[in-house]
Amino acid sequence: MLPGEDGYSILEKLKKDETTRDIPIIMVTAKDAEYDKVKGLEAGADDYITKPFGMMEFVARIKAVLRRTSRSSNTDKELKCGDLRILVGRHEVFWKDEKIELTRKEFELLVYLVENRGLVMSRNQILCQVWGYEFEGETRTVDVHVRSLRQKLGEAGNMVETVRGVGYRIDK
């Protein structure tokens, strides 16, 4: 029902092209027959939503697809920042080959700062990314976790810089 080309042929082109093959795709359509759903999913769509649908369901399905695709892309991901090494998929952090145990939020905070190396991340940006948009706590939660992260990182904790009145960054 798209002008000039149907969704199935567009999906096929995207999945054949090496540069777009791994992009998550959710088909949103009025075609609600079981045959159409199976055809779309077997062609490579990550989800298939039929109209009409509720906005909350739509957002939940997008989040679910993003969780699945980010999990699979992070399994072999390794981040390095000087002598700090983060194995994202294994949830492990090493400083000069010494393993450092972090809580889930400390780990996510460290990964977020390292992935955005050189940029100052505001407390609100950190809250939205690490805790999620639904988080209703205080921005001081970030300060508490940064302090704990610095302590656990020991010598490497000096890499986490405070930018007064703005937020935090890792600039190594």
User: Can you give the pLDDT of all 172 residues of the chain as single tens digits?
Assistant: 678 888 899 999 998 888 888 888 999 999 989 898 888 888 888 889 999 988 988 888 888 888 777 655 555 688 999 999 999 888 899 999 899 999 989 999 999 999 999 999 998 888 888 887 655 666 688 899 999 999 999 999 999 999 998 999 998 6
Task: Give dist(CA 36, CA 29) in Å, integer.
Answer: 10
Query: What is the sign of the dihedral through the CA atoms of 25, 28, 29 and 33?
Result: positive
The residue type found at 45 is A
Beta carbons of 78 and 91 less than 8 angstroms apart: no
pTM of the model: 0.58
Q: Would you state the structure tokens that stand for residue 78, as one six-digit string?
A: 């390794």
- Using DSSP, state whether 159 is helix, strand or coil: helix
Beta carbons of 129 and 111 less than 8 angstroms apart: no
